[in-house]
Structures are given as structure tokens and as C-alpha cells.
Amino acid sequence: MKKFTNNARLGLISMCLNLVILILVIISVVKLGTYDGKNIVLQDSIEKPYEKWQDSINNLMRSNEIAQNAIDGQMKNLDIARQDSAKHAAELAAATEKNVKDSINFKLENDKSHIESCLLALSDSSEYMLASNRVKDSLSAAQEVFKPIEKARTDSINEIRPILKSLIAIVVIAVVLLIIKFLVFGFWMYRNSLNVKYVAPWISKNKPVMNILAWFIPLYNLFKPCGLYSELLSETKDALRGKGLMKDSDDSGQMESMGLWWGSMLLARVLLPFFLVGGPFVCFNFWLLPALATANMENVSMGLLSMGTYFGNTGMFFYLRPHCIVMALLVIAWVVYVLYECYLIFSYNKLNKMMCDNESAFDVTEPTQIATPQVKKEDKETTQILNERKEETQVANDKAEVTQIADESKSE
């Protein structure tokens, strides 16, 4: 019964997915460069004048509000003074006794300063009204100058928004394909680990299914898949060397360069997205994908990439140019990661084929299920049956010999 399975097809599917993901990453970086170029123009040439004029208009509006409040206060005081004067005049006209007139005259003398202050307030109100009119004129002029700047900013934002939306869409597709690739690659490792367990049952204390699950457990997936694949590759080569199917000189040094594969993976999926690029690229750590998928696309256009260090208007190194160095690092990391992983898959597929082609050299009759006590018991039963048959044969031979002797005696 054939025990080894040829898993080359799963490996090829994983390689194809890797290449598609790499193409999408390169396209997304190109989109990021387009966005960044337009965003630099927006921040340097439009946002700064926009903020300056916005501050000027806000100051003029505050001045106009202060003048209007002063005018309202002075007009209120003037109304109060007019009411008091009318009341005093009515009291004076109705007075008949001299002492009452004297009392009213005394009151009018006391209120003279108040009336004068009210007249002064009226004059001040006129000045406040003139000042308010001048502020309104300045505000109208500033708003006229501000309109082209505001229009340029709106047009620039509307131009950037579709680029950023398409960038997010490409990254989401790449992340979904990355999840599928991890499933296929993990299943490929799972099938190969079952092959190796026939000749090396001690290969790992973990169940083979961990080759799939290890890729999806947060933090655990930052180191465990590399360990599982290293163990799988090492035991496979040891098994082939043990049967004389592979020489030490045939080892291409994959074990020594395993760090290049995993280091480039961490750089491409974790370090660069989190600490330099930011934005939708952080979702290459795919457990953050739901946050991006449920984001409000209308409000995300100007703020999403601000999570990065170099991109977006709030990045701490936004004015450290050029940004293309960071984008080049991201592309290089992904190229090294994807291409070296494809090389690892291709190389192991050859080892897998070697095991399948030379299956007869391995004792693969399910060695882990053979139990020594059971074998001894079966041997005892077989021996007992053979002895019984031997005894039956001997008895039959003895009877035949006795019958022959009896027949010879009768014939004599």
C-alpha cells in the first residue's frame, strides 16, 4: 500500500499565489507613490496658504463678533437712558409743588452725567458700527481671495481620494490572497509532515495540523511556522541521507539561509508596514483587516495613511524626503520574501518526489502501528497451528502404514 503522497501540486499553487501577491504589492506601492506625490503638493503648496487664510478669516470673524457685541451693549444702554429721560420729563411736567420741582431738578442734575454718558455711548456706537462695517468689508474681501485656495484644496482632495480608495482595494485583495496562500502553504506543510512521520515518528510533539494553525495565531505566527518548516526540512534530508538517496554535498545550504526567508517575511509584513509605511499596509498583519474593511471610506481618505511615519500629513518624518527609499525597501523585502519562499517550495518538492520515487527503500508499512507483543502473539498462534497440522499428518501416515502392513499379511 502506498504511504507517501506527492504534494507538488499544493506547492505550485502556493508559488502561484505568492507571485500574484507580489504583483499586487508592487502595484499598491506604485499607487502609494502616486498618492504621495500629489499629497506632497497638497501639503506644501495648498494646505499652508489654506491654513494661513483660514486663520485670517477666523480672526476677522472674531473681530466682527466683538464689535457687534459692543454695538448691541451700547444700544441697550442708550435705550435705557432714553427711557429714564422720558420718565423724568413726565415727572417734571406733572409736578405742582416747589419742593417736588426742586427734588426733580436735583434728580435731573444727578442724572445729567448718566445722560451725557449715554450720548457718548451713542457716539461710540457709531464708531463701533463703522468699525464693524470695515471688518465686514475686510471679511468679504478675504473670503473672495480665499475662494480660489479653497477650490484648489477641494479639487486636490477629490483627486487624491480615488487613488487612495484604489490603493486600499488592492491591498485588501492582496491580504485576502495572502490568507488563502497561508492556508494552502500550511496544508502543503501538513501533508509533507505526514509523509515524514512514517520514517521519523519523533519529528515533532505538535500535531501535524499545527502546520496550518500556526500561521493564524497572533504573535505565535511570528516564529512558529519557521520552526516547523525548518524541522520538516531537516528530518526529510536526514531520512534521505539515511537511505543513501542524498549526499551531504547535495545540501544547498537551505538550513543556513532559513533566516533570510523569515527575516524578509517579518520585514515585509510587520516591521515596515507598522513603523515606516503605515496606512492600509498594516493589514498585511491580516487580523487588522476587519478594521480596514469596515472603515468609512469618505472619511478615511485624508487620515488613513497618517498612521505612517513618512506618509500622510501627520507623519513625524513627512518632510524628510525622498519617500521613495521607504517604498523601495518595502518592494525589496517583498521580492526577497516571495521569491525565496518559492525557491524553498520548489526545492522541497524535489525532495518529496525523491521520497515517493524511492518508497520501496523505506519501511513504510505503518511502523508506528506495529506492536511487539501483538507480533509475538501472532507467531505463537501460527506455530501452534503448524504443529497441529504436523501431528495430523503424522497420524495419517501411521494409519496408512498400518493398513499397508495388514494388506500384505492377508495376501501371504
| pLDDT tens, residue by residue, 246-289 | 776 566 556 667 888 999 999 999 888 877 887 778 778 776 66
Query: Are 346 and 394 in a shared domain?
Result: no
Mean pLDDT of 186-214: 83
Q: Does one domain contain both 336 and 404?
A: no
Q: Which of 118-132, 167-181, 310-324, 326-340 has the lowest mean pLDDT?
A: 118-132
Say yes or no: 403 and 261 in one domain: no
Which of 206-244 are b and which e, b meaning 16 or more Cβ less than 10 Å from the residue's Cβ? Answer: eebebbbbbbeeeeebeebbbebbbbbbbbbbebbeeee
Helix (H) or strand (E) holding 293: helix 289-293
Q: Are residues 320 and 389 in the same domain?
A: no
| Residue 293 falls inside a structural domain | yes
Q: What pLDDT score was predicted for residue 161? A: 84
For residues 82 and 130, membership in a common domain is answered with yes
Asked if 310 and 319 count as a contact pair (C-beta separation under 8 A), the reply is no
388 and 288 in one domain?
no
Mean pLDDT to the nearest integer, 202-213: 77
Task: Read off the C-alpha cell for 255.
Answer: 538550513
Tell me, yes or no, whether 161 lies in a domain.
yes
6: left (phi over 0), alpha (psi -120 to 50) or beta: beta
DSSP 334-355: HHHHHHHHHHHHHHHHHHHHHH
Residue 2, in any domain of the structure: no
Listed ranges 18-32, 146-160, 205-219, 253-267; the one with the highest mean pLDDT = 18-32
CA 326 vs. chain centroid, Å, equals: 18
Note whether 298 and 400 are same-domain residues. no
281 and 394 together in one domain: no
pLDDT of residue 297: 47
Does any domain span residue 366?
no
Q: State how far the Cα of 25 lies from the Cα of 339, in Å rounded to an integer.
A: 13
Q: Are residues 87 and 236 in the same domain?
A: yes
The answer to whether the CB of 211 falls within 8 A of the CB of 243 is no
CB 203 within 8 A of CB 238: no
Structural domain count, the chain: 2
Phi, psi of 363 (to 5 degrees): -85, 90
Q: How far apart are CA 370 and CA 365, in angstroms?
A: 9
Q: Write down the mean pLDDT value for the chain.
A: 75
**125 and 70 together in one domain:** yes
Q: Domain limits at 23?
A: 8-361
What is the pLDDT, as a whole number, of residue 375? 41
The whole-model pTM stands at: 0.68
Residue 21 CB: number of other CB atoms within 10 A?
A: 22
Residue with cell 420729563: 89
Contact 67, 132 (CB under 8 A): yes
In a domain, 1, yes or no: no
Structural contact between residues 244 and 362, judged by C-beta atoms closer than 8 angstroms: no
The model's confidence at residue 18, banded by pLDDT at 50, 70 and 90, is: very high
Greatest mean pLDDT range, 106-110, 387-391, 406-410: 387-391
- Same domain for 312 and 399? no
- The answer as to whether 3 is a domain residue is no
Average pLDDT over residues 84-103: 58
| All three cell numbers of 300 | 478615511
Q: How far apart are CA 250 and CA 243, in angstroms?
A: 14
Element (H, E) at 383: helix 372-411
Residues 162 and 135 in one domain: yes
In a domain, 116, yes or no: yes
Query: pLDDT band for position 377 (50/70/90)?
Result: very low
Digit-coded pLDDT (tens) for 117-170: 665 655 555 665 666 666 666 667 666 766 777 788 888 888 888 888 888 889
Whether residue 367 lies inside any domain: the answer is no
